[in-house]
Amino acid sequence: LAKEKGKNNYQFFTEDLNKKAIRKRQIKNALSLAIEQNEFKLFYQPQVDLQTGKLIGLEALLRWYPSFGNVSPVEFIPIAEETGLILPIGEWVIKEACLQIKKWKNQNRPKIKVSVNVSARQFKDKEFALKVKQILEDEKVDPSFIEFEITESVMLNAEEPSLLIREIKEMGIKVAIDDFGAGYSSLSVIKNVEIDTLKIDQSLLENVMQNSRMMSMLEAIIGVGKTLNTKIIVEGIETKEQLNLLNDFQIIGQGYFFSHPLPPEQLQDVWGRNWLQNE
């Protein structure tokens, strides 16, 4: 009986693996056509100054609508990285963000910085800086409107990450470290380069509510940011309680409490409002 059961488990197991492999292949295939099929869209999530309640930035987050249903970036970005498709997709994202910045400028929106996620694979690409320069030139966008969000894996995998970061900063683009505090090497990552912004990973805030020592950790990281003169963004603010924990710090907040990421057509009301009122 045990043998029989083991065999069944094995069958379920391989079935499961097959399903996963099939899904992955489906995503790979569809992803390679997604740009020409117009299946991508950028959503934008507000970043709020927790002292003034003013909007100070928008993070561009990629959304994909293939014919077989929505796929989260959590699922398709790793596959895009693995296949190298992140190179054209990442270029599309930067270009699209630039086009959007121009549209807002034409609509006389206040000057708001747009954060664009850039993956380690893009950073490894020798042509990356050149491609970015080309896009900025073609679209004639003021680079100070743009911030690149990179994770520490960028610093660990690229050959000369600090050189590339310097080159990007010389273009006038800002640089943020995303998911700060989630990995193992956070401090070594920022010791050699001048980073504009540290984005504290949302896992820290999640844990603060359960574990009081995490609050000290969070304060310490905020202190590091102050010392290095970088802006601090705390990610994943979902509740009033979490916001209240952060009230006393001069930092920036981002999370569902303020707003989910929104498509450009739903951003009409984000510009002038005070985000700390009536929340």
State the residues that interact with ligand C2E by CB under 6 A.
Answer: 45, 61-62, 72-74, 77, 90, 93, 117-119, 149, 178-179, 202, 236-238, 255-256, 261
| Cβ 195 to ligand C2E shortest distance, Å | 15
Angle, helices 73-83/86-106, rounded to nearest 10 degrees? 120
DSSP-derived letter for residue 103 is H
CA dist 220 and 199 (Å) reads: 14
Give the type of residue at 188. S
Rule CB under 5 A: which residues touch Mg ion?
117, 149, 178-179
Q: Give the residue ranges of DSSP H helices in the chain.
A: 2-33, 73-83, 86-106, 120-124, 128-139, 152-157, 161-171, 186-189, 202-208, 212-227, 240-246
Helix (H, G, I), strand (E, B) or coil at 57: strand
Residue 153 near which of ligand C2E, Mg ion, none (CB within 5-8 Å, type-dependent): none
- Give the integer Cα–Cα distance in Å for 206 and 155: 26
In the complex with Mg ion, which residue's Cβ is closer, 32 or 156? Answer: 156
Name the binder of 256 from ligand C2E, Mg ion, none, CB < 5-8 A by kind.
Answer: ligand C2E
Residue nearest ligand C2E, CB atom distance = 255
Give which of Mg ion, ligand C2E, none residue 167 binds (C-beta under 5 to 8 Å, depending on kind).
none
Q: How far is the CB of 141 from Mg ion (least distance, A)?
A: 20
Which of the choices ligand C2E, Mg ion, none does residue 143 contact, using the CB cut-off of 5 to 8 A by kind?
none
1 or 151, CB closer to Mg ion? 151
